[in-house]
Structure 1
Protein backbone atom coordinates (compact mmCIF):
# COMPACT_ATOMS: atom_id res chain seq x y z
CA UNK A 1 0.00 0.00 0.00
CA UNK A 2 1.45 3.35 -1.05
CA UNK A 3 2.38 6.13 1.36
CA UNK A 4 0.06 8.50 -0.52
CA UNK A 5 -2.94 6.29 0.20
CA UNK A 6 -2.03 5.99 3.90
CA UNK A 7 -1.67 9.76 4.15
CA UNK A 8 -5.06 10.18 2.46
CA UNK A 9 -6.69 7.85 4.98
CA UNK A 10 -5.01 9.67 7.87
CA UNK A 11 -6.24 13.01 6.53
CA UNK A 12 -9.82 11.83 6.89
CA UNK A 13 -9.53 11.91 10.66
CA UNK A 14 -7.14 14.83 11.06
CA UNK A 15 -8.85 17.64 13.00
CA UNK A 16 -9.37 20.82 11.04
CA UNK A 17 -9.69 23.16 14.01
CA UNK A 18 -6.66 24.45 15.87
CA UNK A 19 -6.01 23.08 19.34
CA UNK A 20 -5.95 25.36 22.36
CA UNK A 21 -3.28 25.51 25.00
CA UNK A 22 0.49 25.59 24.75
CA UNK A 23 2.28 23.93 21.85
CA UNK A 24 4.16 20.71 22.71
CA UNK A 25 7.56 22.38 22.42
CA UNK A 26 6.43 25.04 24.93
CA UNK A 27 5.70 22.51 27.68
CA UNK A 28 8.05 22.51 30.65
CA UNK A 29 10.74 19.84 30.73
CA UNK A 30 11.05 17.57 33.75
CA UNK A 31 14.20 16.19 35.36
CA UNK A 32 13.34 12.82 33.81
CA UNK A 33 13.21 14.44 30.35
CA UNK A 34 16.64 15.96 30.87
CA UNK A 35 18.06 12.62 32.00
CA UNK A 36 16.69 10.88 28.89
CA UNK A 37 18.51 13.38 26.68
CA UNK A 38 21.71 13.23 28.76
CA UNK A 39 21.77 9.43 28.43
CA UNK A 40 21.69 9.73 24.62
CA UNK A 41 24.44 12.37 24.68
CA UNK A 42 26.64 10.19 26.88
CA UNK A 43 26.23 7.20 24.55
CA UNK A 44 27.08 9.44 21.58
CA UNK A 45 30.34 10.55 23.19
CA UNK A 46 31.23 6.96 24.11
CA UNK A 47 31.01 5.77 20.50
CA UNK A 48 32.65 8.84 18.97
CA UNK A 49 29.64 10.68 17.54
CA UNK A 50 30.31 13.60 19.84
CA UNK A 51 33.64 15.00 20.94
CA UNK A 52 34.26 15.62 24.63
CA UNK A 53 33.82 19.36 24.12
CA UNK A 54 30.55 18.89 22.19
CA UNK A 55 29.33 16.54 24.90
CA UNK A 56 30.09 19.06 27.65
CA UNK A 57 28.35 21.87 25.75
CA UNK A 58 25.22 19.83 25.13
CA UNK A 59 25.11 18.48 28.68
CA UNK A 60 25.26 22.04 29.98
CA UNK A 61 22.45 23.02 27.60
CA UNK A 62 20.36 20.04 28.75
CA UNK A 63 20.63 21.02 32.41
CA UNK A 64 19.67 24.60 31.53
CA UNK A 65 16.72 23.57 29.31
CA UNK A 66 13.36 24.84 30.51
CA UNK A 67 11.07 23.46 27.80
CA UNK A 68 10.84 20.31 25.71
CA UNK A 69 11.65 22.45 22.69
CA UNK A 70 14.98 23.33 24.29
CA UNK A 71 15.82 19.63 24.60
CA UNK A 72 14.82 18.09 21.29
CA UNK A 73 17.47 19.93 19.27
CA UNK A 74 20.26 18.40 21.35
CA UNK A 75 19.73 14.88 19.98
CA UNK A 76 18.16 15.55 16.56
CA UNK A 77 21.40 14.74 14.69
CA UNK A 78 22.21 11.68 16.80
CA UNK A 79 19.20 9.38 16.33
CA UNK A 80 16.50 8.77 13.71
CA UNK A 81 13.06 10.27 14.46
CA UNK A 82 11.53 7.05 15.78
CA UNK A 83 14.36 6.61 18.32
CA UNK A 84 14.48 10.13 19.77
CA UNK A 85 14.23 10.29 23.58
CA UNK A 86 11.39 12.81 23.30
CA UNK A 87 8.91 12.91 20.41
CA UNK A 88 6.91 16.06 19.64
CA UNK A 89 5.42 15.00 16.33
CA UNK A 90 1.70 15.61 15.80
CA UNK A 91 1.18 13.49 12.70
CA UNK A 92 -1.75 11.04 12.71
CA UNK A 93 -1.24 7.37 13.45
CA UNK A 94 -2.25 5.38 10.37
CA UNK A 95 -2.08 1.60 9.85
CA UNK A 96 -3.30 0.49 6.43
CA UNK A 97 -2.81 -3.27 6.13
CA UNK A 98 0.22 -3.05 8.42
CA UNK A 99 1.19 -2.53 12.08
CA UNK A 100 1.97 0.90 13.53
CA UNK A 101 2.96 1.85 17.06
CA UNK A 102 3.62 4.96 19.10
CA UNK A 103 5.15 4.89 22.54
CA UNK A 104 8.00 6.08 24.72
CA UNK A 105 8.19 9.69 25.85
CA UNK A 106 5.86 11.56 23.48
CA UNK A 107 3.51 14.49 23.85
CA UNK A 108 -0.10 13.46 23.31
CA UNK A 109 -1.99 16.37 21.69
CA UNK A 110 -5.55 17.18 22.72
CA UNK A 111 -6.79 15.35 19.59
CA UNK A 112 -5.07 12.23 18.24
CA UNK A 113 -6.23 11.02 14.80
CA UNK A 114 -5.94 7.22 14.59
CA UNK A 115 -6.87 5.18 11.52
CA UNK A 116 -6.61 1.43 11.11
CA UNK A 117 -7.72 -0.09 7.82
CA UNK A 118 -7.07 -3.82 8.03
CA UNK A 119 -4.10 -3.14 10.30
CA UNK A 120 -3.14 -2.82 13.95
CA UNK A 121 -2.25 0.29 15.95
CA UNK A 122 -0.52 0.10 19.34
CA UNK A 123 -0.69 3.27 21.46
CA UNK A 124 1.47 3.15 24.58
CA UNK A 125 0.72 6.05 26.92
CA UNK A 126 2.68 4.85 29.97
CA UNK A 127 5.52 7.39 29.54
CA UNK A 128 3.55 9.90 27.49
CA UNK A 129 2.87 13.50 28.49
CA UNK A 130 -0.82 14.40 28.09
CA UNK A 131 -1.15 17.90 26.67
CA UNK A 132 -4.57 18.33 28.30
CA UNK A 133 -6.76 16.53 30.82
CA UNK A 134 -9.17 15.54 28.07
CA UNK A 135 -7.68 13.72 25.10
CA UNK A 136 -9.85 12.84 22.10
CA UNK A 137 -8.77 9.81 20.07
CA UNK A 138 -10.45 10.37 16.70
CA UNK A 139 -10.94 6.88 15.28
CA UNK A 140 -11.41 5.66 11.73
CA UNK A 141 -11.20 1.89 12.02
CA UNK A 142 -12.34 -0.56 9.35
CA UNK A 143 -11.52 -4.25 9.98
CA UNK A 144 -8.60 -3.14 12.13
CA UNK A 145 -7.49 -3.16 15.75
CA UNK A 146 -6.39 -0.40 18.10
CA UNK A 147 -4.62 -1.43 21.33
CA UNK A 148 -4.13 1.22 24.01
CA UNK A 149 -1.97 0.89 27.12
CA UNK A 150 -3.26 3.54 29.52
CA UNK A 151 -1.43 4.65 32.68
CA UNK A 152 -2.99 4.37 36.10
CA UNK A 153 -5.33 7.20 37.04
CA UNK A 154 -6.67 7.79 33.51
CA UNK A 155 -10.21 6.87 32.45
CA UNK A 156 -11.24 5.80 28.93
CA UNK A 157 -14.78 6.57 27.72
CA UNK A 158 -16.71 6.47 24.46
CA UNK A 159 -17.83 9.90 23.24
CA UNK A 160 -21.56 10.56 22.75
CA UNK A 161 -22.49 9.83 19.16
CA UNK A 162 -19.36 7.79 18.46
CA UNK A 163 -19.87 4.55 16.53
CA UNK A 164 -17.54 2.45 18.62
CA UNK A 165 -19.43 -0.76 19.35
CA UNK A 166 -16.48 -3.12 19.74
CA UNK A 167 -14.68 -1.60 22.72
CA UNK A 168 -13.14 -3.66 25.52
CA UNK A 169 -12.09 -1.71 28.59
CA UNK A 170 -9.61 -3.69 30.69
CA UNK A 171 -8.25 -0.68 32.58
CA UNK A 172 -8.38 -0.43 36.36
CA UNK A 173 -10.95 2.18 37.50
CA UNK A 174 -9.27 5.39 38.71
CA UNK A 175 -9.81 6.36 42.34
CA UNK A 176 -10.04 10.08 41.49
CA UNK A 177 -13.35 11.03 39.83
CA UNK A 178 -11.67 14.17 38.45
CA UNK A 179 -8.95 12.19 36.66
CA UNK A 180 -7.76 12.80 33.08
CA UNK A 181 -10.04 11.30 30.43
CA UNK A 182 -9.35 9.71 27.06
CA UNK A 183 -12.45 9.98 24.88
CA UNK A 184 -12.97 7.67 21.91
CA UNK A 185 -14.67 9.43 19.00
CA UNK A 186 -15.28 8.51 15.35
CA UNK A 187 -16.22 5.02 14.17
CA UNK A 188 -15.16 1.38 14.27
CA UNK A 189 -16.55 -0.94 11.58
CA UNK A 190 -15.66 -4.60 11.70
CA UNK A 191 -12.79 -3.90 14.07
CA UNK A 192 -12.18 -3.34 17.76
CA UNK A 193 -10.54 -1.09 20.33
CA UNK A 194 -8.92 -2.54 23.45
CA UNK A 195 -7.76 -0.43 26.41
CA UNK A 196 -5.69 -1.95 29.20
CA UNK A 197 -3.70 -0.88 32.23
CA UNK A 198 0.03 -1.61 32.52
CA UNK A 199 0.94 -4.87 34.18
CA UNK A 200 1.84 -4.37 37.85
CA UNK A 201 5.51 -4.91 38.69
CA UNK A 202 6.42 -8.40 39.75
CA UNK A 203 6.98 -8.87 43.45
CA UNK A 204 10.39 -10.18 44.42
CA UNK A 205 10.85 -13.32 46.44
CA UNK A 206 10.97 -12.83 50.16
CA UNK A 207 12.96 -14.98 52.48
Structure 2
Protein backbone atom coordinates (compact mmCIF):
# COMPACT_ATOMS: atom_id res chain seq x y z
CA UNK A 1 0.00 0.00 0.00
CA UNK A 2 1.54 3.29 -1.10
CA UNK A 3 1.73 6.31 1.12
CA UNK A 4 2.21 9.92 0.25
CA UNK A 5 3.10 12.93 2.26
CA UNK A 6 0.10 15.09 3.16
CA UNK A 7 1.04 18.76 3.03
CA UNK A 8 -1.99 19.74 5.13
CA UNK A 9 -1.15 17.39 8.09
CA UNK A 10 -1.09 18.88 11.62
CA UNK A 11 2.59 19.86 12.14
CA UNK A 12 2.22 19.47 15.92
CA UNK A 13 1.99 15.72 15.46
CA UNK A 14 5.37 15.47 13.70
CA UNK A 15 8.20 13.71 15.54
CA UNK A 16 10.90 15.80 17.21
CA UNK A 17 14.63 15.14 16.99
CA UNK A 18 17.21 14.72 19.76
CA UNK A 19 18.69 18.09 18.80
CA UNK A 20 15.34 19.77 19.40
CA UNK A 21 14.98 18.06 22.78
CA UNK A 22 18.45 19.33 23.75
CA UNK A 23 17.49 22.84 22.63
CA UNK A 24 14.46 22.83 24.92
CA UNK A 25 16.57 21.40 27.76
CA UNK A 26 19.06 24.28 27.41
CA UNK A 27 16.22 26.78 27.44
CA UNK A 28 14.94 25.21 30.69
CA UNK A 29 18.39 25.35 32.31
CA UNK A 30 18.68 29.02 31.32
CA UNK A 31 15.24 29.72 32.79
CA UNK A 32 16.28 28.02 36.04
CA UNK A 33 19.47 30.09 36.13
CA UNK A 34 17.37 33.25 35.71
CA UNK A 35 15.10 32.18 38.58
CA UNK A 36 12.05 31.72 36.39
CA UNK A 37 11.58 28.08 37.49
CA UNK A 38 12.91 26.29 40.59
CA UNK A 39 15.06 23.16 40.61
CA UNK A 40 12.13 20.82 41.18
CA UNK A 41 10.33 22.27 38.17
CA UNK A 42 13.54 22.00 36.17
CA UNK A 43 13.82 18.28 36.93
CA UNK A 44 10.17 17.65 36.09
CA UNK A 45 10.34 19.58 32.83
CA UNK A 46 13.62 17.99 31.77
CA UNK A 47 12.11 14.55 32.31
CA UNK A 48 9.10 15.51 30.18
CA UNK A 49 11.40 17.00 27.53
CA UNK A 50 13.45 13.87 27.00
CA UNK A 51 10.26 11.77 26.97
CA UNK A 52 8.61 13.97 24.34
CA UNK A 53 7.92 12.36 20.98
CA UNK A 54 6.09 15.10 19.06
CA UNK A 55 6.04 18.89 18.93
CA UNK A 56 2.69 18.73 20.72
CA UNK A 57 4.52 17.13 23.68
CA UNK A 58 7.23 19.83 23.74
CA UNK A 59 5.10 22.95 23.35
CA UNK A 60 3.48 22.94 26.83
CA UNK A 61 6.87 22.53 28.54
CA UNK A 62 8.07 25.99 27.48
CA UNK A 63 4.78 27.80 26.84
CA UNK A 64 5.11 30.00 29.97
CA UNK A 65 8.73 31.01 29.31
CA UNK A 66 9.62 34.20 27.43
CA UNK A 67 11.91 32.43 24.98
CA UNK A 68 9.54 29.58 24.16
CA UNK A 69 8.87 31.07 20.73
CA UNK A 70 12.42 30.11 19.76
CA UNK A 71 12.15 26.48 20.84
CA UNK A 72 9.83 23.57 20.16
CA UNK A 73 8.43 25.39 17.18
CA UNK A 74 6.95 22.97 14.67
CA UNK A 75 7.52 23.67 11.00
CA UNK A 76 4.73 25.58 9.32
CA UNK A 77 2.41 23.38 7.31
CA UNK A 78 3.44 23.31 3.69
CA UNK A 79 0.46 24.35 1.57
CA UNK A 80 -0.07 22.46 -1.60
CA UNK A 81 0.83 24.64 -4.57
CA UNK A 82 -2.09 25.79 -6.64
CA UNK A 83 -2.84 23.58 -9.59
CA UNK A 84 -4.95 24.36 -12.62
CA UNK A 85 -6.33 20.82 -12.31
CA UNK A 86 -8.00 21.52 -8.96
CA UNK A 87 -11.57 22.87 -8.91
CA UNK A 88 -12.47 23.97 -5.35
CA UNK A 89 -16.12 23.44 -4.51
CA UNK A 90 -16.50 20.48 -6.86
CA UNK A 91 -18.68 17.45 -6.05
CA UNK A 92 -17.88 15.71 -2.77
CA UNK A 93 -19.18 12.23 -3.55
CA UNK A 94 -20.71 10.26 -6.42
CA UNK A 95 -21.77 6.62 -6.75
CA UNK A 96 -22.38 4.63 -9.93
CA UNK A 97 -23.61 1.10 -10.59
CA UNK A 98 -22.87 -0.81 -13.81
CA UNK A 99 -24.73 -4.12 -14.04
CA UNK A 100 -24.16 -5.86 -17.35
CA UNK A 101 -23.55 -2.39 -18.73
CA UNK A 102 -20.87 0.26 -18.82
CA UNK A 103 -19.91 3.66 -17.49
CA UNK A 104 -17.79 6.01 -19.61
CA UNK A 105 -16.32 9.36 -18.58
CA UNK A 106 -13.90 11.33 -20.73
CA UNK A 107 -13.17 14.82 -21.95
CA UNK A 108 -13.69 17.77 -19.61
CA UNK A 109 -15.34 16.73 -16.34
CA UNK A 110 -14.75 17.06 -12.59
CA UNK A 111 -13.64 14.07 -10.53
CA UNK A 112 -15.38 14.22 -7.11
CA UNK A 113 -13.47 13.78 -3.86
CA UNK A 114 -15.02 10.32 -3.46
CA UNK A 115 -16.08 8.35 -6.53
CA UNK A 116 -17.46 4.83 -6.00
CA UNK A 117 -18.20 2.52 -8.92
CA UNK A 118 -19.60 -1.00 -8.61
CA UNK A 119 -19.28 -3.16 -11.72
CA UNK A 120 -21.18 -6.48 -11.88
CA UNK A 121 -20.58 -8.20 -15.19
CA UNK A 122 -20.01 -4.71 -16.50
CA UNK A 123 -17.23 -2.20 -16.88
CA UNK A 124 -16.14 1.39 -16.48
CA UNK A 125 -13.81 3.53 -18.56
CA UNK A 126 -12.56 6.69 -16.88
CA UNK A 127 -10.30 9.08 -18.78
CA UNK A 128 -8.94 11.71 -16.36
CA UNK A 129 -6.50 13.41 -18.71
CA UNK A 130 -8.70 16.45 -19.35
CA UNK A 131 -10.54 16.28 -16.06
CA UNK A 132 -10.23 18.58 -13.09
CA UNK A 133 -10.35 17.39 -9.47
CA UNK A 134 -12.58 18.49 -6.62
CA UNK A 135 -9.65 18.18 -4.19
CA UNK A 136 -5.87 17.81 -4.20
CA UNK A 137 -6.43 14.13 -3.41
CA UNK A 138 -9.39 12.13 -4.65
CA UNK A 139 -10.36 8.51 -3.98
CA UNK A 140 -11.80 6.28 -6.69
CA UNK A 141 -13.24 3.05 -5.31
CA UNK A 142 -13.91 0.37 -7.91
CA UNK A 143 -15.58 -2.85 -6.76
CA UNK A 144 -15.55 -5.24 -9.72
CA UNK A 145 -17.39 -8.59 -9.71
CA UNK A 146 -16.80 -10.44 -12.97
CA UNK A 147 -16.22 -7.03 -14.46
CA UNK A 148 -13.55 -4.41 -14.59
CA UNK A 149 -12.49 -0.84 -15.04
CA UNK A 150 -9.90 1.06 -17.03
CA UNK A 151 -8.57 4.37 -15.70
CA UNK A 152 -6.40 6.67 -17.82
CA UNK A 153 -4.39 9.50 -16.25
CA UNK A 154 -2.01 12.08 -17.65
CA UNK A 155 1.70 12.56 -16.89
CA UNK A 156 1.03 15.11 -14.13
CA UNK A 157 -1.20 12.90 -11.94
CA UNK A 158 0.15 10.93 -8.98
CA UNK A 159 -1.47 7.50 -8.56
CA UNK A 160 -1.65 5.29 -5.47
CA UNK A 161 -3.03 1.75 -5.91
CA UNK A 162 -4.63 0.20 -2.82
CA UNK A 163 -7.06 -2.33 -4.30
CA UNK A 164 -7.37 -6.00 -3.35
CA UNK A 165 -7.73 -8.71 -5.98
CA UNK A 166 -9.34 -12.13 -5.45
CA UNK A 167 -8.91 -14.20 -8.59
CA UNK A 168 -8.53 -10.77 -10.14
CA UNK A 169 -6.40 -7.75 -9.49
CA UNK A 170 -5.36 -4.13 -9.74
CA UNK A 171 -2.50 -3.01 -11.95
CA UNK A 172 -0.66 0.16 -12.88
CA UNK A 173 0.09 2.81 -13.42
CA UNK A 174 1.70 1.60 -16.62
CA UNK A 175 1.79 3.65 -19.72
CA UNK A 176 3.20 5.25 -22.79
CA UNK A 177 4.75 8.28 -21.08
CA UNK A 178 6.89 8.89 -18.01
CA UNK A 179 5.30 10.65 -15.03
CA UNK A 180 5.97 14.38 -14.66
CA UNK A 181 5.14 14.93 -10.99
CA UNK A 182 5.72 17.89 -8.69
CA UNK A 183 4.21 19.34 -5.51
CA UNK A 184 1.14 20.58 -7.38
CA UNK A 185 0.30 17.17 -8.86
CA UNK A 186 -3.15 15.91 -7.85
CA UNK A 187 -3.29 12.46 -6.27
CA UNK A 188 -5.69 9.70 -7.28
CA UNK A 189 -6.07 6.81 -4.84
CA UNK A 190 -7.58 3.72 -6.41
CA UNK A 191 -9.22 1.35 -3.94
CA UNK A 192 -11.73 -1.47 -3.87
CA UNK A 193 -11.95 -5.19 -4.43
CA UNK A 194 -11.82 -7.12 -7.70
CA UNK A 195 -13.29 -10.64 -7.75
CA UNK A 196 -12.89 -12.42 -11.09
CA UNK A 197 -12.27 -9.00 -12.50
CA UNK A 198 -9.59 -6.39 -12.91
CA UNK A 199 -8.87 -2.70 -12.60
CA UNK A 200 -6.03 -1.14 -14.55
CA UNK A 201 -4.49 2.32 -14.49
CA UNK A 202 -2.62 3.56 -17.56
CA UNK A 203 -0.66 6.77 -18.03
CA UNK A 204 -0.99 8.41 -21.45
CA UNK A 205 -0.19 11.82 -22.96
CA UNK A 206 -2.83 14.49 -22.68
CA UNK A 207 -4.91 14.69 -25.87
CA UNK A 208 -4.21 17.59 -28.20
CA UNK A 209 -6.74 20.31 -27.27
CA UNK A 210 -6.61 21.83 -30.74
CA UNK A 211 -9.64 20.96 -32.87
CA UNK A 212 -9.04 18.75 -35.84
CA UNK A 213 -9.71 20.47 -39.15
CA UNK A 214 -11.02 18.52 -42.06
CA UNK A 215 -10.25 19.90 -45.50
CA UNK A 216 -12.42 19.01 -48.43
CA UNK A 217 -10.47 18.13 -51.53
CA UNK A 218 -11.75 19.55 -54.81
Point out the structure with max Rg over C-alpha. Answer: 2
